[in-house]
Amino acid sequence: MNFDFSDALKQLRDEARRYLAEHAGAKSARRIIEGGAAYDEALWSGIAAMGWLGANIPEEYGGAGLGPEGLCILAEEVGRALAPIPFSLSAGMATDALLIAGTAQQKAAILPRLAEGTAIGTLAWAEGPGNPRPGAISARFANGRLSGSKVPVPAGHFADFAIVAARADSGFVLVLADLADVRCTRLETLDPSMGQARLDFDNVPAEALEGDGWLTLRMLLDRAAILAAFEQIGGADACLQAAVAYAKERHAFGRPIGSFQAIKHKLADIYIANELARSNAYYGAWALATEAAELPLAAASARVSATEAFHLASKENIQTHGGMGFTWDADCHLFYRRAKHLALTHGSAPHWKDRLVGLLESRNAA
Amino acid sequence: MDFNDTAEEAAFRDEVRGFLAANAARKDLGRPTSRARSIVAAELARAKAWQAKKAAADLAALTWPTRWGGRGASPIFSVIYQQEEEAYAVPRGVFEIGLGMCIPTMMAYATPEQLERHVPPALRGEEIWCQLFSEPSGGSDVAGLRTRCERAGDDWIINGQKIWTSGAQFADFGIIVTRSDPTVPKHEGLTFFFLDMRSPGIEVRPIRQASGASHFNEVFFTDVRVPDSQRLGAVGAGWKVSVTTLMNERLAVGDTPRPDVDDLLELCRHLELDGAPALGNAAVRERIAEWHTRSQGLKLTRFRTMTALSRGQTPGPESSIAKVVNASKLQDIASYGMDLLGAAGMLSDPALAPLHALFQEALLFSPGLRIAGGTDEILRNIIAERVLGLPPDIRVDKDKPFNAVRHG
Ligand SMILES: Cc1cc2nc3c(=O)[nH]c(=O)nc-3n(C[C@H](O)[C@H](O)[C@H](O)COP(=O)(O)OP(=O)(O)OC[C@H]3O[C@@H](n4cnc5c(N)ncnc54)[C@H](O)[C@@H]3O)c2cc1C
């Protein structure tokens, strides 16, 4: 039994935690939220230089070849540090799209740029309200041209290219589109440190990826759910630490508030939810690393568990801080915003719960 | 990451599988074993016979020293044994308190002669032990107990009452903590003994539980004589000995109490809600998904614990969450399964209720799980204080003489 990360990866985790505490953290997220920049470019170049953007890119394409487990480790630290960068999106999802369904030429052209951070990729499937579903896609791809609108698209206003879900005569496809000449509108959102845009494709050139578009998108969403789960457990752990520290130090009625059982039990419940979410996320990392048949179920469990944990931790962290927790200046709301943001990307909890039970049904029928 | 055994672990697992296949029958998963009944003589005999077989195969106490019939093995081997045994319909629950808590306490405090006399028969299942801690005046606050012991020459005389004592009705020996000095603060005036449950003056009265079964008892002590040689630890040091016992609470591993998610899926498969399959219902699906992530999260958390054990590390605090999560999940799943049946959910006749009334039985016994071995609230205090390092409760009784504090 070896259900833990290797020592080398734990070392990477410590290194990432130190680096991000110094260069990211709430102050960096706050700078983006208050200052209006799209993302933290200095941080982006910094982690590119550390080689982390190419964590899951094979060495032949200029990556670090750490594999998906390395990516998971880093995602947890990115979530803990509230880093205002599209890490899991570009180094995870867009990279995965090319690795799974890119042509040899697409891989050779783009993967090295993703690894060095000079290109940022995004994935555009949503067209307004609703969870991922083939019937909800109306963007069109024909004769090498893409038309249609996507909203919200993560990092759409600063990404260099997008993998776009569209319909073609042959059925559902994923296409690769350069965003240089695509009309984009930055959107006002809950967590501006994870900016979103609307993209309007008006007969722009695009290239199809290989394979069945819907199957690929499903795979990408499953894999993204696991990475998101790591970001979520990182954020949830940061909330628990913050709440525990405050509960030890803040006094009321002549004693630390952490000696009141209403506070203690609340924090114990967060601890429990976080531990369960962590174990489910680790299983997801294992499934990614081994390409296990259990991956979809592991992804759904990780997603549901981590979403629940971060939601609980972020809202009760505010509660533990009292009035101070409800101020703009305290960091609590940054985590609260990020928690809800992460709960909504890649399909929300009801979608994943439904999918999870569907997977249990087919497993038990087998 | 992988879920593979080391070579040594794999060899041991093979040994256990061989032993179980040769000596026990597999569980019939469609026919859960009932937990509601009281343990009758025939079952007790079966449990003793099974324990003897395990002991003969050196599988009964793997972590104990070889001197006492163990293998001096790391706790990972006990976990592996339990994982394998879980698939078999073998009697459980009779020896756990004795071998898990009482004998380890004896090993820490009894004389070599006493161990020679008591350990082997306990291991072979010939003698059963019980734990006489809780009293009407204190379960969570066990140090608030009032049963008195008074010195009389080479003996002690015990008077008072214990309660909730599991297995006292068939136990041969017990460990007991009593008050030797009520004029000092509560933790300082306790003294610990082991005793023969057939000593004159002991009366065991079964208590009927909320579930209707009788697994625990009241035990009354009237001028019960215990020789001073059966004292464990110093006079007044009984709390320290009690802590040894409580620290030995078995590493909770292996069993997910049933009904769990698979049982709920099984129930739903044959069920309609408002004319449509129950599993098509979005609310039902949400609940099942949430419970699945908890069960799966616990199972995987155990794997993290096993990883630590397997590397010779002490398991992290994660092992403390299992009972809190399991007990409430069980209660909720039981209740929800019955809701899905509508009015018929109230039928508890195993011949009529789905899965042999598994849900109905669990509804009735699950409240006990939230209390036994540390209540939900006490366990949350423990997580908050020992894991998260939050300040302790304010204790108004801590420094006062025991007889100056209000009880009960
Ligand atoms: C099935 C079963 C088997 C048992 N077997 C044994 C046995 O073999 N030997 C034995 O000695 N005992 C046994 N017990 C007793 C068990 O350990 C106690 O019932 C348990 O510790 C609770 O104590 P109590 O019943 O006195 O409840 P109390 O301690 O009176 O608790 C009542 C309520 O108050 C809460 N409470 C108490 N103190 C605190 C606190 N500090 N903070 C927050 N809340 C608090 C509790 O959580 C609970 O909700 C068994 C119990 C059960 C249900």
Interchain pair A301, B297: CB under 8 A: yes
Q: Does A246 fall in a domain?
A: yes
Q: Locate tokens 């990211």: which residue? A: A24
Q: Does A255 fall in a domain?
A: yes
- Side-chain-side CA neighbours of B218 within 13 Å: the count stands at 9
| Residue of B95, B133, B134, B390 best suited for mutating to test ligand 1, as the one with most atoms within 8 Å of CB | B134
Residues ≥6 apart with Cβ < 8 Å to B346: B338, B360
Determine what percent of chain B is predicted with pLDDT higher than 70. 94
Residue B252 — very low, low, confident or very high, per pLDDT cuts 50/70/90?
very low
Instruction: Single out the catalytic residue among B86, B188, B249, B266.
Output: B249
3-state SS, A278-328, equals: HHHHHHHHHHHHHCCCCHHHHHHHHHHHHHHHHHHHHHHHHHHHHHHHCCC
User: pLDDT per residue over B253-263, tens digit each?
Assistant: 446 789 999 99
Partner residue opposite A4 with nearest CB, options B288, B289, B307: B307
**A138 shares its domain with A81:** no
User: What is the total count of domains within chain A?
Assistant: 3
| pLDDT value for A63 | 96
Using the mean position of ligand 1's atoms as its centre, give its distance from the Cα of residue B167 in Å.
17
**A77 shares its domain with A193:** no
A173, β-bridge pairs? A166
Interchain pair A279, B304: CB under 8 A: yes
CATH of the domain at A325: 1.20.140.10
**A343 shares its domain with A226:** yes
Using the mean position of ligand 1's atoms as its centre, give its distance from the Cα of residue B145 in Å.
13
Q: Does A23 fall in a domain?
A: yes
| Chain B partners within 8 Å of A240 (Cβ) | 388
Q: Does A1 fall in a domain?
A: no
Residue B397 — very low, low, confident or very high, per pLDDT cuts 50/70/90?
confident
B positions 70-99 inside 8 Å of A (CB)? 76
**A148 shares its domain with A191:** yes
| Residue of B375, B396, B406 best suited for mutating to test ligand 1, as the one with most atoms within 8 Å of CB | B375
Residue B29 — very low, low, confident or very high, per pLDDT cuts 50/70/90?
low
Pocket of ligand 1 contains residue B246 by CB under 6 Å = no
Atom of ligand 1 nearest to the CA of B373: 17
| pLDDT value for B36 | 47
**A257 shares its domain with A356:** yes
Alpha-carbon distance of A152 to A189, in angstroms, equals: 9
- Let me know: does B379 contact B323? Beta carbons within 8 Å: yes
B204, β-bridge pairs? B219
Alpha-carbon distance of B233 to B93, in angstroms, equals: 28
Range list of β-strands (E), B202-348: 202-207, 216-227, 231-232, 272-273, 276-277
DSSP-derived secondary structure for A226-238: HHHHHHHHHHHHH
Interchain pair A267, B388: CB under 8 A: yes
Radius of gyration of chain B (CA): 23
Tell me if residue B249 is catalytic: yes
Give the β-pairing of B173-179 and B129-132: parallel
Closest alpha carbon within chain A to B395: A259
* Residue B89: strand, helix, or coil: coil
Q: Which of A327-341, B343-357, B393-407 has the lowest mean pLDDT?
A: B393-407
Q: Does A302 fall in a domain?
A: yes
| pLDDT value for B249 | 64
* pLDDT, mean over chain B: 92
Q: Does A2 fall in a domain?
A: no
User: pLDDT per residue over A77-114, tens digit each?
Assistant: 999 999 999 999 999 999 999 999 999 999 999 999 99
Length of chain B: 408
Alpha-carbon distance of B240 to B298, in angstroms, equals: 31
| pLDDT value for B319 | 63
What's phi and psi for A166, nearest 5 deg? Answer: -150, 170
User: pLDDT per residue over B283-324, tens digit each?
Assistant: 999 999 999 999 999 999 988 988 888 788 876 655 679 989
**B92 has a pLDDT exceeding 90:** no
**A228 shares its domain with A361:** yes
Q: Which two tokens stand for residue B40?
A: 């009758």
Domain boundary assignment for chain B: 7-95+111-123, 129-247, 261-387
User: pLDDT per residue over B352-389, tens digit each?
Assistant: 999 999 999 999 999 999 999 889 999 999 999 999 99
Alpha-carbon distance of B57 to B51, in angstroms, equals: 10
| Residue of B95, B178, B371, B383 best suited for mutating to test ligand 1, as the one with most atoms within 8 Å of CB | B371
Residue B121 — very low, low, confident or very high, per pLDDT cuts 50/70/90?
very high
CATH of the domain at A160: 2.40.110.10
CATH of the domain at A45: 1.10.540.10
Q: Which residues of chain A have a pLDDT value below 70? A: none
**A278 shares its domain with A313:** yes
**A268 shares its domain with A339:** yes
- Let me know: does B207 contact B214? Beta carbons within 8 Å: yes
Partner residue opposite A259 with nearest CB, options B2, B377, B394: B394
The CA–CA distances, whole Å, from B132 to A91, B161, B250, B402 equal 59, 9, 17, 20
**A361 shares its domain with A247:** yes
Q: Which two tokens stand for residue B168?
A: 């006292």
The residue segments making up the domain with residue A25 are: 7-119
| CATH for the stretch B261-387 | 1.20.140.10
CB atoms within 10 A of CB A277: 30
User: pLDDT per residue over B34-59, tens digit each?
Assistant: 554 556 788 899 999 999 999 999 99
In this complex, is the C-beta atom of A354 within 8 Å of any C-beta atom belonging to chain B?
Answer: yes
The CA–CA distances, whole Å, from A218 to A93, A221, A348, A355 equal 11, 5, 14, 11
Using the mean position of ligand 1's atoms as its centre, give its distance from the Cα of residue B400 in Å.
23
| pLDDT value for B37 | 56
Q: Does A348 fall in a domain?
A: yes
Pocket of ligand 1 contains residue B217 by CB under 6 Å = no
| Chain A partners within 8 Å of B282 (Cβ) | 350, 354
* Residue B148: strand, helix, or coil: strand
**A39 shares its domain with A145:** no
| CATH for the stretch B129-247 | 2.40.110.10
In this complex, is the C-beta atom of B11 within 8 Å of any C-beta atom belonging to chain A?
Answer: no
Alpha-carbon distance of A154 to A135, in angstroms, equals: 21
- Let me know: does B215 contact B209? Beta carbons within 8 Å: yes
DSSP-derived secondary structure for A2-44: B-S--HHHHHHHHHHHHHHHHHSHHHHHHHHHHH--SS-HHHH
- Side-chain-side CA neighbours of A326 within 13 Å: the count stands at 3
Q: Does A335 fall in a domain?
A: yes
Domain boundary pick from A194, A211, A228? A211
Peptide bond into B367 cis (omega under 30): no
Largest separation between any pair of C-alpha atoms in chain B: 77
Top-level class of domain B7-95+111-123 = mainly alpha
